[in-house]
């Protein structure tokens, strides 16, 4: 009987979270590592096409900073991006003598390399710093949370709806919406496993983005490997680190 009561208590706690508590769990889970290195393959599909354009890249993450290096195809190899939270992004342009250019705030309203992945989805940062949450229910093993962009904050999608897994506290689905609540873009993720080098952080092995404003244009991202806590130096996540290729 005690065991049954304990299980009921745990189950009840999982459903009793407030919107703010769910967002706090999510932000903590997303950053539950010292650093992270991901090897990814992105495929961009035109509507109705069986094959798509493939882009490969390495992503390194530490705190609110992300460094992305493109490894293929040849026309983008050597390019790089450095983000410092939601509002600051730099691009490395080998075709212009390895020049580094700071991207304007409009850049986060655009997509990543012509894909359906919004730049602001790459930027990291805490949801609680930019959005006001509302818990609207549960579906299966997920909390469903609606987010509204705070006054004074900028973003391509003023509203979002998140499905947050109660076990990993990670996002398994997002609907990106306009200020009227109309769905513009959907992200779904799967194959969640704990990362190499971490006993607590989870990453998906596949993510799919579907852009409803572009006739359901689709992009998939597959992670070949995810390694946590590799001891990446802070110097990697600087403009100089971006330029020198560390």
Express each pLDDT in 137-159 by its tens digit. Answer: 999 999 999 999 999 998 889 99
36 band by pLDDT with thresholds 50, 70 and 90: very high
CB atoms within 10 A of CB 213: 13
Q: Is the pLDDT of residue 72 over 60?
A: yes
CB atoms within 10 A of CB 97: 6
* Of 25, 29, 3, 26, nearest in space to 201 by CA: 29
Q: Is the pLDDT of residue 10 over 70?
A: no
Q: What percent of the chain has pLDDT over 90?
A: 71
The CATH homologous superfamily of the domain defined by 18-244: Lipoprotein localisation LolA/LolB/LppX (2.50.20.10)
| 17 or 28: which leads in pLDDT | 28
Q: Is the pLDDT of residue 195 over 80?
A: yes
- The mean pLDDT of the chain is 89
Cα–Cα distance, 148 to 127 (Å, whole number): 10
Is the pTM higher than 0.85? yes
- Do 217 and 211 contact (CB within 8 A), yes or no? yes
pLDDT at 70: 94
Note the helical H segments in the chain: 2-15, 19-30, 119-122, 239-244
What length is written for the chain? Answer: 246
pLDDT at 1: 42
Q: What are the domain boundaries of the chain?
A: 18-244
Cα–Cα distance, 54 to 41 (Å, whole number): 7
Cα–Cα distance, 107 to 124 (Å, whole number): 15
- Do 62 and 34 contact (CB within 8 A), yes or no? yes
CB atoms within 10 A of CB 91: 17
Taking CA atoms, 244 is separated from 59, 62, 85, 98, 235, in Å, by 16, 18, 21, 9, 11
């Amino acid at each position: 009987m005690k065991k049954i009561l304990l299980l009921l208590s745990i189950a009840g706690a999982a459903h009793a979270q407030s919107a703010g508590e769910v967002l706090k769990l999510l932000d903590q889970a997303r950053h539950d590592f010292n650093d992270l290195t991901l090897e990814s393959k992105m495929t961009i599909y035109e509507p109705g096409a069986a094959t798509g354009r493939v882009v490969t890249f390495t992503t390194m993450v530490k705190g609110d900073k992300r460094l992305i290096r493109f490894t293929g195809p040849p026309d983008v190899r050597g390019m790089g991006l450095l983000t410092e939270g939601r509002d600051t992004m730099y691009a490395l342009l080998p075709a212009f003598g390895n020049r580094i250019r700071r991207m304007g705030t409009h850049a986060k309203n655009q997509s990543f390399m012509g894909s359906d992945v919004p730049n602001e989805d790459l930027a990291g940062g805490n949801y609680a710093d930019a959005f006001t949450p509302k818990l609207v229910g549960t579906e299966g093993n997920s909390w469903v949370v609606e987010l509204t962009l705070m006054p004074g904050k900028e973003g391509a999608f003023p509203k979002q709806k998140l499905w947050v897994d109660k076990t990993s506290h990670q996002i398994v689905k997002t609907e990106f919406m306009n200020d009227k609540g109309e769905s513009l873009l959907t992200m779904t993720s799967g194959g969640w496993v704990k990362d190499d080098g971490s006993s607590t952080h989870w990453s998906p092995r596949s993510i799919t983005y579907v852009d409803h404003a572009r006739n359901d244009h689709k992009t998939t991202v597959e992670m070949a490997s995810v390694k946590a806590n590799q001891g990446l130096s802070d110097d990697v996540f600087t403009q100089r680190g971006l330029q020198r290729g560390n």
